[in-house]
Amino acid sequence: MTRSLVKRDRPRVVLALAAVILTGCLGTTTDSTAPVDILSPGKWVSLAPMPTARQEVAVGELNGRVFVIGGFGAGSEAVPTVEVYDPATDRWETRAPLPAPTHHAAAAVVDGRLFLVGGYSGGRVSWTPLRTVYEYDEVRNSWSTRAPLRQARGGLAVATLGGRLHAVGGSGDSASAAHEVYEPTPDRWTDAPPMPTARDHLAAVAFQGKLWAIGGRTSFVGTQFTNVEIYDPAANAWSTGTPLPVGRGGLAAAVLGDRVYVFGGEAPLRIFSANEMYEVARNRWIGKDPMRTPRHGIGAAAVGNRIYVPGGGTQPGYAATSVNEAYVP
């Protein structure tokens, strides 16, 4: 049986929304508390905006282009919209929509195949967690259905490791520690050791042959995690990494070269401009040039020497934007 997440968390959600309304829906913009890299902070560049303002989107890179998939659109309702940004031309194209409106899903590419995993249906009032998995065919410009997740959940994170998709966390009836692994051939999901910490609205990347699960939360007004937990497929086990300087959900992460970057995020009445990089040599997070437009409900994709962060929400809760910015280290 599917359930409304809003019903489950209604008392906390009502209190949080009331607080947002009382503050004029503005909240506070928060930067990173990490030590700042003054010598080489990098910079942000503004690019052609998305045709459609959206947040809680899935973002993936396929053949050098940035796909922005689904999310909340106008009226904070789920949309099936798929728009693709070409960094070479600074232009957007509209591609075939999803078979159904979906928000809070996750996207990743395996062997040149783009997959969209999980998410929620429904809009502002009631959300239903999904087991749905779609694959995009770029030649035919169409979506097809693949084997569903074993556990329905949205607000999850997905990363590609060793030719497989790893889907971690998210929420069904509550925050989940689920860890499922997808093999495109033979189109099958299997369970893997769960994360030590149950959470949703987290980020995940593959780095140095391991899966990193970063940040997240238990609910909109619940615990906001600094946790970084690392799965080693060789040992089939999790370990604890260096925590983020500040806990939050709705953040994005990407790997560029030998660096992990984490962007933005949200906590009750706060939205983050944070841009943090994991410094391997000193085993710490350091602050880089903050986001020009602080946002949550975002994804990130690395293409060439830039990381693209399109869309998202510019205030706590619902505040979709069409902003498209890239970070250049």
pLDDT per residue over 225-267, tens digit each?
Answer: 999 999 999 999 999 999 999 999 999 999 999 999 999 999 9
Residue 329 lies in a domain: no
Q: What is the pLDDT of residues 75-127, one digit of tens each?
A: 899 999 999 999 999 999 999 999 999 999 999 999 999 999 999 999 888 99
R_g of the chain, CA atoms, integer Å: 18
Q: CB–CB of 257/302 below 8 Å?
A: no
The pair of three-digit structure tokens given for residue 157, joined into one six-digit string: 């994170």
Chain-centroid distance of CA 166 in Å reads 14
Q: Could you give the CA distance from residue 314 to residue 298 in angstroms, rounded to a whole number?
A: 10
Any domain includes 240: yes
Kindly state whether residue 71 falls inside one of the protein's structural domains: yes
Alpha helices in the chain (DSSP H): 5-8, 10-22
CATH of the domain at 136: 2.120.10.80
| Domain presence at residue 327 | no
pLDDT at 13 over 50: no
Span 273-287, mean pLDDT? 97
CA distances from 165 to 110, 193, 261, 285, 315 (A): 7, 14, 20, 26, 31
Please indicate, yes or no, if residue 326 is contained in any of the structural domains: no
Asked if residue 46 belongs to a domain, the reply is yes
Measuring CA to CA, how many Å separate 99 from each of 3, 155, 181? 21, 19, 23
In which domain, by residue range, is 128 found? 5-318
Q: How confident is the model at residue 26 (pLDDT cuts 50, 70, 90)?
A: low
Q: Count the domains in the chain.
A: 1
Residue 155 lies in a domain: yes
Q: Is residue 325 part of a domain?
A: no
pTM of this prediction?
Answer: 0.92
Predicted confidence (pLDDT) at residue 323 exceeds the cutoff of 90: yes
